[in-house]
Amino acid sequence: MPSRCKSHPVHHLPNKPCLDFKSLKELPDSFKWAPLDGPSRALELESESESESESVPVVDLNDPNAQKLIGLACKAWGVFQVINHGVSKSLLDKIEACGKSLFALPVQQKLKAVRSADGVTGYGPARISSFFPKRMWSEGFTIVGSPLEHARQLWPNDYSKFCAIIEEYQNEMNTLAEKLMWLILGSLGISTRDVKWAASPTGANPFKGASGVIQLNSYPACPDPSRAMGLAAHTDSTLLTILHQSSTSGLQVFQEWAGSWVMVPPISGGLVINIGDLLHIISNGLYSSVYHRAVVNKTRHRLSVAYLYGPEPNVRIQPLPKLSDANRPPLYRPVTWSEYLGIKGKHFDKTLSLIRLNNDSNEDNDNNSTLINGLKRGVDRTKSIKVDSNTKILAAFA
């Protein structure tokens, strides 16, 4: 076991050494989950389709009805894909190539940029993995702000190209995230006037102080995908998440009304948009954050790049007054992003219910979906989630 690995017990629990996935010809017991429910593995043939289930909506941002279509998708799914979003295919290809070259480095090299025990950035297992008894078949790299320090550790002589691409990606994603935020809020009848903390006086930079974290995820080909988990079910602790997935499928979302997992097929040049917990709060539960997970594939490596977008860390997030009234009182108390992440780090799936205001009439109004509310209402999704007995519903920390 490499010595750096031993010194980071939080991310590499006892008897869980850092590893080279390629060297494993069989799935070790520590990676064996209960057989997955739903489409349990990425499709071996990309041409196959899950013809029986409905599919996640795809919205063309050039469509004059885009705002309305986004509203319908948010209400029904909490997730949609976008095309014609303004981010070039060549930039998506470049970030994917960056991710591939990073994860293809020898383990010893990647460990030079390992995430520290109390840190956020760098290389390591899925950020939620320390809360599960079983290990996930994935590795990740988290970037907050400049990646310079870690990039130097990974490629001492050749880090500037990586940094330039990351910077370009951050800028483009931020612009798209702002645009999506106003489209999503617009679909609820909310304008810049209604979100004072986000709108700057000039209107030039809506979502003042908002920023994003880049999460690169790598899912190596796996000897037994039916028993492995790439990334366990969770909701994101964000306003929204923009996900680029490579051409190999693996992302699944939980479809509440059907009580089943649905694969989100990669669209060349398309991006997946997830509603996160903070948008769930400010929409007063009208748009639910979506449970999602990643499954793995027997023959193909999969890569995804998540842009986890959140507000200025100390701004008060609360149900927008326009979306609350006597019939629909505010469902959640005010919370900052920092505070929310702190609670989620301790209480995981219970976070939304912990900040929920105690008001009986709220129960029927909430279009959500925490595991707890689902259990109370007997919503099928929880039954389906529970089938996978090793799965806890956890947050991805942004």
Ligand X SMILES: O=C(O)CCC(=O)C(=O)O
Q: Which residues bind Fe ion (CB under 5 A)?
A: 236, 396
Of 363, 340, 359, 365, nearest to 351 by C-alpha is: 340
**Cα dist from 27 to 223, 235, 299, whole Å:** 6, 27, 14
Distance CA 250, CA 138 (A): 12
Q: Which two tokens stand for residue 381?
A: 């999704």
List, in order, residues 6 or more apart from 52 with CB less than 8 Å away: none
Q: How far is the CB of 15 from ligand X (least distance, A)?
A: 26
Which CB, 71 or 140, lies closer to Fe ion? 140
Q: How far is the CB of 340 from ligand X (least distance, A)?
A: 15
Binding site for ligand X (CB under 6 A): 215, 217, 231, 236, 243, 245, 250-251, 292, 294, 304, 306, 396
Q: How far is the CB of 357 from ligand X (least distance, A)?
A: 27
The secondary structure of residue 152, as a DSSP letter, is H
Residue 172 interacts with which of Fe ion, ligand X, none, CB < 5 to 8 Å by class: none
Catalytic residue among 302, 316, 356, 381: 302
Q: How far is the CB of 304 from Fe ion (least distance, A)?
A: 9
Which CB, 225 or 250, lies closer to ligand X? 250
Distance CA 175, CA 231 (A): 27
Residue 136 interacts with which of Fe ion, ligand X, none, CB < 5 to 8 Å by class: none
Residue 310 interacts with which of Fe ion, ligand X, none, CB < 5 to 8 Å by class: none
Residue 237 interacts with which of Fe ion, ligand X, none, CB < 5 to 8 Å by class: none
Neighbour order of strands in the sheet with 260-263: 260-263, 251-255, 292-294, 231-236, 394-396
Q: How far is the CB of 327 from ligand X (least distance, A)?
A: 34
Q: How far is the CB of 241 from Fe ion (least distance, A)?
A: 6
Which CB, 151 or 256, lies closer to Fe ion? 256
Which CB, 134 or 302, lies closer to ligand X? 302
Residue 73 interacts with which of Fe ion, ligand X, none, CB < 5 to 8 Å by class: none
Which CB, 85 or 127, lies closer to ligand X? 127
Distance CA 74, CA 64 (A): 17
User: Given the DSSP bridges, would you call strands 79-83 and 122-124 parallel, antiparallel or unpaired?
Assistant: unpaired
Alpha helix segments (H runs only) across the chain: 3-6, 66-76, 89-103, 107-110, 148-154, 160-186, 277-282, 337-347, 351-354, 362-365, 371-377, 380-387
Distance CA 69, CA 260 (A): 23
DSSP 5-51: HHT-TTTS-TT-----GGG-SS--GGG-PSPPSSS-S--SSTT---T
Distance CA 136, CA 33 (A): 9
Which CB, 236 or 256, lies closer to Fe ion? 236
List, in order, residues 6 or more apart from 275 with CB less than 8 Å away: 74, 78, 79, 184, 240, 287, 288, 289, 290
Which CB, 210 or 308, lies closer to ligand X? 308
Q: How far is the CB of 246 from ligand X (least distance, A)?
A: 9
Answer yes or no: 300 catalytic: no
Q: Which two tokens stand for residue 355?
A: 């900040």
Q: Which residues are catalytic?
A: 302
